[in-house]
A and B are shown apart, each in its own frame.
Chain A
Amino acid sequence: MFFTKAIAGMAGTTLLAGALVFHEGVITVNVREKRADGDHVRFFVPATVVSYGMGLAPEEQIRRATRHAHEYLPVARIALQELAKCPDSVLVEVKDRDEHVLIEKRGGRLLVNVDSRSEEVHVGVPIQTVVSVIKELESSAAREKAAAIVRD
């Protein structure tokens, strides 16, 4: 009886975690060096890790990161939120003799692909993850501003 309940509990937790990861998406990074003995690094991080990680990051580190960028955070957030509503498209493409850079929006994700003579880099980030990180940075900037007003 206990064993059945434990299995059911574990299955439920796994299902819930899977649903959460599916909902938030996955950050993918794929780097391949083109030389003969080159490295190939590939990893997947559930976006939830980033969302919750932001909450655990030291406040001072976040404050330092937002000190110079806080003016641009709302602009970046609004741009990404609007972009999420738009149809999929290549947003930026730069191609020259040595390098091909492609930034595209596909299915709620921002994809950055760089193909150069020395390496190939593919990064995929769910737009909502970037938006929630920016929101966290904005809240931190607002808290610092309020603290500065109280100090003065």
Chain B
Amino acid sequence: MNRRAWSGFGAVALLAAVVLLMGAQGQQPEQWLHVRVDDTRAEGEIVRVNLPLSVAEKVLPAIRAHKLAEGKIRLSELKIHDVDLGAILEAVKGSADGEYVTVQSKKENVRVAKQGGYLLVKVREQKKEGTPDAYEETVDIKVPMTVVEAMLSAGPNELDLLAAIRALRAHGDAELITVKERYQTVRIWIDRKNTSE
């Protein structure tokens, strides 16, 4: 093969590589939100939900409920037991890693912390007498701080759920919520698999 043929072949190969690379960048693998509920009792249920995050991202702006519009929730509606969630999240956002809330009572222990780029919430309900497990119920919530920040990006009185979903898509695999009871386990997580096994 002469030099002209080789250079022609090289140019075509280079062009093909560029096109393939561009295609690979444009086609991000789909992120899936998974919900899995396992109940080990004889009459218990097993539930699996697999939802592509791209669907959630497109659907959310179309939902118009009195609290939710254009993918945003008005924060004044999100007070729980007079606790201003927005103020707490805003405070955590700008702070260094550490433990922010610790509640220890006879009934349960609650811990809210920021650690390694995640907002962590741990709830441990104390066991009732006569039960074999260490805890009656455990709740673990682990939200990437980028998602928390995206959620607060709309302003002081709103939570931007759409931005949060976009941040989740950008974040990659994450274990979001795990709830364990004696018979039941609930897991919510995201990854690139389209099955929840």
Interface residues of A (CB under 8 A from B): 71, 74-75, 78-79, 81-83, 85-97
Summarize A's interface: helix, strand, loop or mixed: mixed
Let me know if B55 and A74 touch, CB within 8 A.
Answer: no
Interface residues of B (CB under 8 A from A): 30, 32, 42-52, 54-55, 58-59, 62-64, 194-195
Chain B's nearest CB lies how many Å from the CB of A41?
A: 28
| Residues of chain B lying within 8 A (CB to CB) of residue A90 | 48, 50, 194-195
Give the total number of A-B pairs whose CB atoms are below 8 A apart. 61
- Knowing A82-B54, A86-B54, A87-B194, the reply to whether A95 touches B45 (Cβ < 8 A) is yes
Summarize B's interface: helix, strand, loop or mixed: mixed
Query: Can you name 18 extra interface pairs (CB under 8 A) apart from A90-B195, A91-B50?
Result: A71-B64, A74-B62, A75-B59, A82-B54, A82-B55, A82-B59, A83-B55, A86-B30, A86-B52, A86-B55, A87-B194, A89-B32, A91-B49, A91-B51, A92-B47, A93-B46, A95-B46, A97-B43
| Residues of chain B lying within 8 A (CB to CB) of residue A96 | 43-46
| Residues of chain A lying within 8 A (CB to CB) of residue B58 | 78-79, 81-82
Chain A's nearest CB lies how many Å from the CB of B147?
A: 21
Chain A's nearest CB lies how many Å from the CB of B45?
A: 4
